[in-house]
Copies of this chain bind each other. A is one copy, B any other.
Amino acid sequence: MVNIRDVAKYCGVSAMTVSRALNNSGQISKETKERILKACEELGYRPNFAARSLVTKKTNMIGLIIPDITNQYYSQVSKGVSSYLSLHGYGLLLCNSDRKKEEEKRYLNFLSEGRVDGIIIFPVKPKKEDYEGILKEIPLVMADNYVDGLNANFVGNDNYHGASEIIRHMVKQGFKKIGVILGPTSSSASNERLRAYKDVLAENNIEYLSDIVLESDATFDDGFNLAKVLIEKGVDSIFAINDTVALGVIKYCYLNNINIPYDIGIAGYDNIQQSSMLPVPLTTVDQNGSRMGKVVAETMLNLLTGGAIISKKIILKPQLVIRKSLRES
């Protein structure tokens, strides 16, 4: 592997001059610069990342920890992050926590060896103490699940708003016994949506029944399995914590000849691409993962460059997407 000194020797200059040519730093005559750049081409010189980052203390890398890359919301987030970073000369170190706390911890450890300049995390069942240590060591942006009392930058979706909108729509469509499939209790997103659910029921004088509000790990299989439970309890509709769960519910209905939306109404959350192409298109809430990705990456880079941070807490407004799974209006 050819190094900076080989180039220097080849050009009859010092290593420092080559470094300057490559980094546009300091004063350097146009001719020598061009000569050096040409030599780098010819010799196939590539600056050594480790050496550079050892001295500059910068990696131009950002770590992204997400629960599940095969979930479309997160893949959109990843794409948004990736595009924004790439545009600004940064690389992405992707960590798929698989919704496991231990994996998340392992990755946090892995990243904290100085592999990245900052960490963006979409945490699973977050607790304050999990992130207090790392927060002192490396810039951190948290997303989706707010951790109370943690002085970290946060970008969230307005879950209360999104859920209120869709539940209100459900009530307006005439549904009265609305079953819910939540995410884990430690998920603030899930809790906010539950709060909205309760408030909208109260607004409409509908009794809250805790036995038709179920907790889950927010997977497709959970949707499939819990649909059975809820339907046996006589709900007239189901609000799923995300579209993937809703797809599980829909699969159950499909296999059991339960008509959507007349036997049962279904509402999702996320607006994944396929939601619009179902037998009965899914009414859902669009969180715009790609926008989230961009914003979270932008926040990170602002943090790194010390640029003005408008707010330590950014809340994005999701949008209700009305389709046919809650009957026609």
Q: How far is the CA of A74 from the CA of B98 in the complex (A)?
A: 16
B70-A94 in contact (CB<8A): no
Q: Is the interface of A mostly helix, strand, loop or mixed?
A: helix
Verify A46–B114 contact, CB threshold 8 A. Answer: yes
Contact among B47, B49, B93, B112 for A91, CB-based, below 8 A: B93
A72 near B69: Cβ-Cβ < 8 Å: no
A:59-104 near B, CB below 8 Å: 59, 61, 68-70, 72, 75-76, 78-79, 82-83, 86, 91-96, 98, 103
Residues of B contacting A59 with CB < 8 Å?
50
Contact yes or no, B276 A274, CB < 8 A: no
Partner of A53, one of B47, B50, B61, B278: B50
The reply to whether A46 and B82 contact each other, CB–CB distance below 8 Å, is no
Instruction: Decide yes or no whether A234 CB sits under 8 A from chain B.
Output: no
Contact A50 B54 (CB under 8 A): yes
Q: Are A49 and B113 touching (Cβ within 8 A)? A: yes
The answer to the question of A174 belonging to the interface, with a C-beta cut-off of 8 Å to chain B, is no
Contact status B279-A278, CB under 8 Å: yes
B69 and A91: CB pair below 8 A? no
Kindly state the separation between the CA atoms of A254 and B280 in the bound complex, as whole angstroms: 11
Nearest-neighbour CB distance to chain B for A197, whole angstroms, equals 25
Complex partner residue of A69 from B53, B68, B82, CB under 8 angstroms:
B82
Q: Which residues of B contact A91 (CB under 8 A)?
A: 93, 95, 110, 115
A251 x B278 contact (CB < 8 A): no
Which B residues lie within 8 Å of A26 (CB)?
Answer: none
Q: Separation in Å of the A16 CB from the closest CB of chain B?
A: 19
Give chain A's interface residue range (CB within 8 Å of chain B). Answer: 35 or more
- Kindly state the separation between the CA atoms of A125 and B302 in the bound complex, as whole angstroms: 36
Which B residues are CB-close (under 8 A) to A94? 78, 82, 92-94
| Chain B residue nearest in CB terms to A279 | B279
What are 30 A-B pairs at a CB distance below 8 A? A46-B109, A46-B113, A46-B137, A49-B113, A49-B114, A49-B115, A50-B53, A50-B59, A51-B54, A68-B79, A69-B75, A69-B78, A69-B82, A70-B76, A70-B79, A72-B75, A78-B96, A82-B95, A83-B96, A86-B96, A86-B103, A86-B107, A91-B93, A91-B115, A92-B93, A92-B94, A93-B94, A220-B273, A247-B273, A279-B279
Known pairs A54-B54, A82-B95; list 11 more (Cβ under 8 Å).
A46-B109, A49-B50, A49-B115, A51-B54, A72-B72, A78-B96, A247-B273, A254-B277, A274-B277, A278-B278, A279-B279
- Interface residues of chain A, those whose CB is within 8 Å of chain B, are 1, 44, 46-51, 53-54, 59, 61, 68-70, 72, 75-76, 78-79, 82-83, 86, 91-96, 98, 103, 106-107, 109-110, 112-115, 133, 137, 220, 247, 250-251, 254, 273-274, 276-279
The 3 closest A-B pairs by CB, nearest first: A279-B279, A274-B274, A94-B94
